[in-house]
């Protein structure tokens, strides 16, 4: 298999990603009380603990007749977890006891359907696996009372099926960079750039309602899905490929975001974007986070927001300048405590930018130039690579996110920051809508070696409770998975959750699809 694969204990192809710079050590010492030295290393594959595969031989044989089946340690360990902080803590320590019993990789939509039928019949749990980049336990191999669990790897369904104007049909296992590579010849891009871009698949993005860094301009993935096909144990659910319809509740919007709990997406029709002829990324300093939010709101209401709009709060601005080694600038920033706004314009730069700059000047913004924009562009996918380095150095490092209406945004930010007290917390607005915005938090701290998982779980639970109380959504773009499931009743109401469970019971009556996720109590 020549497909790119991640490392089981972290993010990148080893050595491929950016590393924490030398001068970061000082920041880690000052702000987190860490030595800056490597104090922890992931175990090697040989030292990982996992059980012998527990898949019935007859079932394995039936699956092997319709799909590639692997049960070697490497395949199983790589699909034993996603890429959250908690996942990496466990993986780095070689704790893969729950790894899937087999990895099943079909090559067609029909074979996916067949795998579902076989597993439903044999009561084998199925975890659909795209890029494996979930940070909410979305691919956690939870089998409940079941004896066996397989990882349904969609990596072999990776073709572009057709391009008609801006309408693009793809298979779910296609990774985002490969999708954009294939579309480039048509003058198109998906325009979808989550931080997981390097590994994420189109199907995974659709199943989790992903948002990319340019979603302010290009829209979340759910806004760009035109139609899809989804295999379920009861047959195929397919929405009609039309630009819009008034025919009842939206099947598309039931399948989108269903996280492998209702079915497995086997084909997606998407709206793609023309490649931008012109592109400009630049930075501005705002006097306060409140000033920045106010101007972003104005930009969004006026329909002239940049395609990428990211406003860091005072903490995050200071930390990122310090970590970028811009000590001089960081000192100035340390005194004035401004907030950095990165604006990225993709196509139609002139008019929007001109009008936006007028609004920004009116809000007292200070232009930081294209260098600030380019610096952000260079490091836009660096976070998860740097995290591996931070984990080596004994850090607690995790992110969480939410969204709210403009009126509730400031209160929401304060509430989450309070819930994360004791950690170093940076926050940014990363997606802007006419009616509100998302908030993204990065928490850093000194890992408690006695109970590293419990340490974060307590913070995370407090943050989620705070989000719910302050009127945010439990997730703007990380999805629900296992980790947010306990808050779904607050998110949807008891009846709303019950309604979704009714769908689950109809489409997956034996409950083999991704147990313990999304709709689990």
Q: Are strands 188-189 and 273-274 parallel, antiparallel or unpaired?
A: antiparallel
Residue 110 engages its own copies in binding (rule: CB under 8 A): no
Distances (CA, A) of 388 to 6, 15, 109: 13, 11, 35
Contacts with its own copies: how many residues (CB under 8 A)? 87
Alpha carbon of residue 190 to chain centroid? 16
Note whether 407 binds its own copies by CB under 8 A.
Answer: yes
Token pair 């340690």 is found at: 73
150/256 with CB nearer its own copies: 256
Select from 8-16, 51-59, 171-179, 243-251 the region that touches its own copies (CB under 8 A): 243-251
Among 85, 289, 433, 441, binds its own copies (CB under 8 A): 433
Q: Which of residues 135-174 bind its own copies (CB under 8 A)?
A: 164-167
Among positions 172, 257, 338, 516, the unique one binding its own copies when judged by CB under 8 A: 257
**Binders in 170-199 for its own copies, by CB under 8 A:** none
Burial class for 215, CB neighbours closer than 10 Å (0-12, 13-18, 19+): buried
The answer to whether residue 278 forms part of the interface with its own copies (CB under 8 A) is no
Alpha helices in 393-514 (DSSP H): 406-419, 452-469, 488-507
User: Of 1, 16, 65, 242, which lies in the binding site for its own copies, with binding defined by CB under 8 A?
Assistant: 242
DSSP 275-334: PPS-EEEEEEEES-HHHHHHHHHHHHHTT---SEEEEE-HHHHHHHHHHTT-HHHHHHHH
Burial class (CB in 10 A: 0-12, 13-18, 19+), 304: middle
Q: Which stretch binds its own copies (CB under 8 A): 94-102, 237-245, 327-335, 451-459?
A: 237-245
Q: Within 207-226, which residues bind its own copies (CB under 8 A)?
A: 208-211, 220, 222, 226
CB of 259 to its own copies, least distance (A): 7
Give yes or no for residue 521 binding its own copies (CB under 8 A): no
376 vs 433, beta carbon nearer its own copies: 433
Q: Name which of residues 434 to 453 contact its own copies (CB under 8 A).
A: 434-438
Contact region with its own copies (CB under 8 A), list: 76-84, 376-384, 415-423, 433-441: 433-441
Q: How far is the CB of 491 from its own copies (least distance, A)?
A: 5
Residue of the chain from 123, 241, 465, 489 that contacts its own copies (CB under 8 A): 241
Sign for the CA dihedral angle at 487, 133, 36, 447 comes to positive
What CA–CA distances, in Å, run from 272 to 173, 225, 280, 290, 414? 17, 9, 20, 34, 37
- Residue choice 244, 421, 450, 521 for contact with its own copies (CB under 8 A): 244
Residues 6+ apart with CB under 8 A from 323: 20, 21, 23, 24, 27
Buried b (16+ CB within 10 A) or exposed e, 150-171: bbbbbbbbbebeebeeebbbbb
Map tokens 């709990």 to a residue: 261
Q: Is the distance from CB of 253 to CB of 191 less than 8 angstroms? A: no
482 is a site residue for its own copies (CB under 8 A):
no
Site string for its own copies, 290-309 (x = CB under 8 A): -------x---xxx------
- Rounded to a whole number of angstroms, the minimum distance from the CB of residue 300 to its own copies is 9
Q: Check residue 277 for interaction with its own copies (CB under 8 A).
A: no
Token code pair at residue 30: 């000052």
475 binds its own copies (CB under 8 A): yes
- Min dist CB 487 to its own copies, Å, is 8
> Could you tell me which stretch among 64-72, 80-88, 116-124, 477-485 binds its own copies (CB under 8 A)?
477-485
Question: Phi then psi for 279, rounded to 5 degrees?
Answer: -155, 135
Residue keyed to tokens 């501005």: 284
Subset of 484-503 contacting its own copies (CB under 8 A): 484, 488, 491-496, 498-500, 502-503
């Amino acid at each position: 298999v020549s497909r790119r694969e991640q490392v089981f204990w972290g993010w990148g192809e080893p050595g491929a990603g950016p590393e924490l710079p030398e001068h970061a050590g000082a920041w880690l010492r000052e702000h987190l009380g860490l030595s800056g030295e490597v104090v922890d290393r992931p175990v090697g594959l040989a030292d990982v603990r996992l059980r012998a595969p527990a898949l019935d031989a007859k079932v394995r044989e039936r699956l092997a007749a319709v799909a590639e089946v692997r049960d070697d340690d490497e395949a199983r360990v790589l699909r034993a977890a996603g890429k959250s902080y908690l996942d990496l803590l466990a993986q780095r320590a070689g704790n893969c006891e729950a790894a899937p019993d087999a990895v099943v990789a079909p090559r067609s939509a029909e074979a996916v359907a067949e795998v579902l039928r076989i597993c439903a019949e044999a009561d084998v749990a199925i975890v659909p696996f795209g890029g494996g980049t979930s940070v909410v336990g979305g691919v956690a191999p939870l089998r409940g009372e079941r004896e066996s669990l397989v990882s349904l790897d969609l990596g072999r369904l990776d073709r572009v099926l057709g391009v008609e104007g801006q309408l693009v049909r793809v298979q779910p296992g296609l990774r985002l960079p490969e999708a954009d590579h294939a579309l480039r010849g048509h003058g198109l891009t998906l325009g979808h750039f989550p931080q997981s871009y390097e590994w994420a698949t189109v199907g995974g993005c659709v199943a989790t309602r992903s948002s990319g860094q340019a979603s302010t301009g290009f829209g979340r993935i759910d806004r760009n899905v035109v139609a899809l096909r989804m295999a379920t144990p009861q047959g195929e659910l397919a929405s009609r490929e039309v630009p819009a319809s008034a025919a009842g509740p939206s099947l598309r919007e039931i399948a989108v975001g269903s996280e492998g709990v209702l079915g497995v997406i086997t084909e997606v029709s998407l709206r793609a974007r023309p490649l931008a002829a012109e592109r400009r990324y630049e930075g501005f300093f705002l006097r306060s986070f409140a000033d920045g939010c106010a101007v972003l709101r104005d930009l969004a209401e006026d329909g002239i927001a940049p395609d990428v709009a990211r406003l860091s709060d005072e903490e995050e601005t200071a930390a990122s300048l310090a970590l970028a080694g811009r000590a001089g600038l960081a000192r100035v920033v340390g005194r004035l405590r401004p907030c950095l706004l990165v604006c990225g314009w993709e196509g139609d730069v002139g008019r929007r930018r001109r009008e936006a700059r007028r609004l920004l000047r009116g809000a007292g913004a200070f232009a930081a130039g294209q260098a600030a924009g380019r610096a952000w562009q260079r490091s836009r996918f660096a976070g998860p690579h740097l995290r591996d380095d931070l984990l080596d150095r004994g850090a607690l490092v995790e992110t969480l996110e939410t969204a709210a209406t403009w009126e509730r945004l400031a209160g929401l930010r304060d509430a989450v920051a309070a819930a994360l007290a004791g950690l170093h917390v940076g926050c940014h607005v990363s997606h802007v809508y006419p009616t509100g915005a998302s908030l993204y938090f990065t928490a850093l701290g000194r890992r408690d070696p006695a109970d590293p998982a419990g340490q974060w779980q307590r913070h995370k639970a407090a943050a989620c409770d705070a989000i719910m109380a302050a009127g945010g959504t439990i997730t703007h773009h990380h999805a629900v998975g296992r980790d947010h499931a306990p808050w779904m009743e607050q998110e949807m109401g008891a009846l709303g959750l019950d309604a979704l469970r009714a769908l689950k019971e109809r489409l997956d009556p034996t409950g083999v699809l991704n147990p313990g996720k999304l709709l689990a109590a």
